[in-house]
Amino acid sequence: MVTLKDISRDLGLSVTQVSRALGGHADVNAQTRKRVRAAADRLGYRPNAVARGLKTGRSGIVAMVVSGTRTPEASAHLLEIVMGLSAEFSRIGLRFVLHVAQPDEDTVRLHEDLFLAGGIDGFIVISPQKSDPRIAALTRMGAAFVVHGRDPDQAHVHVDIDNFEVGRRMTDHLLRLGHRRIAFLTAGDNTFFSRERVRGLKRAYADHGLDAGMARVVGLPMIAPEGQRAASTLLSSKQRPTAIIAGNTLLARGVYRAAAMHGLQIPCDLSVLAHDDDLELFATDTFDPPIGGTFAPLSQAWVSVADTLQTMIEPEKEGLKHRILPLGFQIGGSAKSNSD
Amino acid sequence: MVTLKDISRDLGLSVTQVSRALGGHADVNAQTRKRVRAAADRLGYRPNAVARGLKTGRSGIVAMVVSGTRTPEASAHLLEIVMGLSAEFSRIGLRFVLHVAQPDEDTVRLHEDLFLAGGIDGFIVISPQKSDPRIAALTRMGAAFVVHGRDPDQAHVHVDIDNFEVGRRMTDHLLRLGHRRIAFLTAGDNTFFSRERVRGLKRAYADHGLDAGMARVVGLPMIAPEGQRAASTLLSSKQRPTAIIAGNTLLARGVYRAAAMHGLQIPCDLSVLAHDDDLELFATDTFDPPIGGTFAPLSQAWVSVADTLQTMIEPEKEGLKHRILPLGFQIGGSAKSNSD
DNA sequence: CTGAAAGCGCTTACAG
DNA sequence: CTGAAAGCGCTTACAG
């Protein structure tokens, strides 16, 4: 292993100067800097992150702890998220590692263990639950962390989209098209984003002077088979909805399948909208007709999450601190006016 | 942050003794040890892994670098592997972290970066390719690592099953039942395990005095849709096979589907065997009829992988060094005698 | 522009 | 059984 000492000996310089030269500090003779750089390359020097970490208190590593998932779709979803985060962090010079816990493992303790042992500069938390204990623990320990999404019960740095608007805009779009019986497939009530979206849906009804009681809200795991099952039930019901809003494109995929099984054409017999995270694995380009709805690429969120966490870890590099990301709307071809 | 110094000050002891007491060394007065333990708990002491790492050269962290995958099934497969490894490593007191690379990212470089920066004690490599460059790089750097599977072109520590036997036993079983036209669905030719299995298949034919030319070997990604497609093609062919061997249960799932679509009953019209890794996500208890074939739980492999890597990292804890794991055979109900 | 020195928190010969 | 000291490899005031 080549150390600063080796370089300093090789060059007859002090370790101090070598360190400064490689660190790119201004107060080093340009000549010297060049010589040091050359020697470091020649000897194959690699800075020891552990030693640097002990001195500076920073390891350059950020972590995320997740629980193992139960379904292929959820796994694929998780891995795409991890890939997106990894890419952003490596772009800004931080290393992102994942710790996958057992389903029955205590993730709060894992956060504590990882942080208190040192060596982790910060954390990412995704899919926060109501009064999320991970957020409470990280806050208590004074760890740097960014949450994707939001827990309204605690104050914390977060990056999110305006989920109220997600619910409001899609519902408004359908109401304008004349739909009244709208079903909304979304996650359970213990997620803030879902509650916000439902609140947006209700607001849209109210804005149109309508009773939101006409809408049906269904809470479910947000994967295709569940979407298919729920849509199937809805489409078999007496007062079947004329439009379905899917919380993500996986659910929408299930809705499309259910519609096909019921012999219903989209958008003629059934309008469908979905919120689209723009995930590659569940690309919407295979939707026929093309799906409409709100649009906010998760990849944007990762840019923001990574930059924000970096700013918390390295305050000297003042970066952006986006919090609420912009929301788009795609018309698509999956919704049509209704005159029931 | 509470350090050894804080405890030593609190107790009026030297840092040396505090360190030894907490480290469980024998040469410390039992009384003292107790007092130190109590003080550490009271003050909330957590050893600083970074400092320890600088001194001992060990971080207690092992890593695996994988490329992001493209399909939900492959993602689920990967995550189950990661969960299994995580569980084993945490059982023996090591932390297992995952780095998920972009599909286009240079994983060799990632291994180098992670290792040369220090802070990673060892690596796990899975799914080795022919002349795998990751293995070459880790060997060159002198890193501790264990490969699950084997690269015949390089010497390295590995944990594996006897894949020759996997191919030989399943083929032998079918040949004894009178099958002659056997199709074998397996991975591409660039994997050692697949070549070994094919070699085993040929040996079984030879042992029965038969020409292995009657067998059909199909290389493909080992997931259900591919198995279904390949089986469908085979079952439509003129000289359709009377038996299909699937390299894993995902492929077998696809074969079952294809058989159903072709109106073929298993095992009456078609015999099917599969190698079963005993993964929870692709449990075989939903196979009707129950699938037969070779059986070797991956969870066993992880026990062995973790113990072996620990032995390489901490030679003082001499542990087991299983290399080739035992192989079982399940009769199941998916294969039947043939008299074509 | 350069170097000697201190120190991050820990472990471990060494001497008593 | 106990403690003073050295040192892992780095960074960074401080003094020149």
B-interface mutation test, from A55, A64, A91, A100, most B Cβ less than 10 A away: A100
Q: For chain A, how far is it from start to end, CA to CA, in angstroms?
A: 76
User: Residue B251: inside a domain, yes or no?
Assistant: yes
- A80 and A190 in a single domain? The answer is no
Closest residue of chain A to B70, computed from CA coordinates: A281
- Residues of chain A with Cβ-Cβ distance to B79 below 8 Å are 68-69, 75, 78-79, 100
Would you say residue A247 lies in a domain?
Answer: yes
Rg value, chain A, Cα: 25
Residue at token pair 């979206």 = A197
Indicate which CATH number applies to the domain containing A137.
Answer: 3.40.50.2300
Tallying the residues shown for chain A, one arrives at 340
Number of domains in chain A: 3
Judge whether residue B284 has pLDDT over 90: no
Inside any domain, residue B94 = yes
Contacts of B188 (CB under 8 A, 6+ apart): B194, B219, B220
Note whether A251 and A317 are same-domain residues. Answer: no
The verdict on B273 and B168 lying in the same domain is yes
Kindly list the residues from chain A whose CB atom is less than 8 angstroms away from the CB atom of residue B116: 46
User: Does A108 contact B at CB distance below 8 Å?
Assistant: no
Look at residue A340 and tell me if it is in a domain: no
Q: Shortest Cα distance from B170 to chain A (angstroms)?
A: 28
Q: Tell how many helices (H) and how many strands (E) occur in chain B.
A: 12, 12
CB burial of A206-232 (b: ≥16 within 10 Å; e: otherwise) equals eeeeeebeebbbbbbebbbbbbbebbb
Q: Are residues B193 and B257 in the same domain?
A: yes
Q: Do B279 and B169 lie in a common domain?
A: yes
Co-location of A293 and A313 in the same domain: no
Do both A111 and A133 map to the same domain? yes
B56/A contact by beta carbon, under 8 A: no
Asked if residue B337 is part of any domain, the answer here is no
The nearest CA of chain A is from the CA of B288 a distance in Å of 21
Q: Both tokens of residue A116?
A: 């208190």
Range of the domain at A184: 163-297
Evaluate if the CB of A20 falls below 7 Å from strand D.
Answer: yes
Asked, for residue B334, whether it belongs to a domain, the answer is no
Chain A span 21-80 residues with beta carbon within 7 Å of strand D: 22-23, 45, 47-48, 51-52, 54-56
> Do B262 and B173 share a structural domain?
yes
Q: Is A264 found in the same domain as A209?
A: yes
Per-residue pLDDT of chain A (340 residues; tens, 9 = 90+): 899 999 999 999 999 999 999 998 888 888 899 999 999 999 999 999 999 999 999 989 999 999 877 788 888 889 889 999 999 998 898 999 999 988 888 999 999 988 988 889 999 999 999 999 999 999 999 999 999 999 999 999 999 999 999 999 999 999 999 999 999 999 988 899 999 999 999 999 999 999 999 999 999 999 999 999 999 999 999 999 999 999 999 999 999 999 999 999 999 999 999 999 999 877 888 899 999 999 999 999 999 999 999 999 987 666 556 589 999 999 999 999 987 6
The answer to whether residue A46 neighbours chain B at the CB level (below 8 Å) is: yes
* A173 and A150 both lie in a single domain: no
**H-assigned helices in chain A:** 4-11, 15-22, 30-43, 49-56, 72-91, 107-116, 133-141, 163-176, 192-207, 224-236, 249-261, 298-313
In a domain, A282, yes or no: yes
Whether B338 is covered by a domain: the verdict is no
Tell me the two tokens of residue B80. 């189950």
Q: Does the beta carbon of A109 lie under 8 angstroms from any beta carbon of chain B? A: no
Question: Which nt has its C1' nearest the CA of A54?
Answer: C8
H-helix segments, chain B = 4-11, 15-22, 30-43, 49-56, 72-91, 107-116, 133-141, 163-176, 192-207, 224-236, 249-261, 298-313
A191 in the same domain as A231: yes
CATH code: domain of residue B42: 1.10.260.40
The verdict on B222 touching A (C-beta cutoff 8 Å) is no
Among A residues 240-299, those touching chain B with beta carbons less than 8 Å apart? 281
For residue A317, the model assigns a pLDDT of: 63
Residues B174 and B282 in one domain: yes
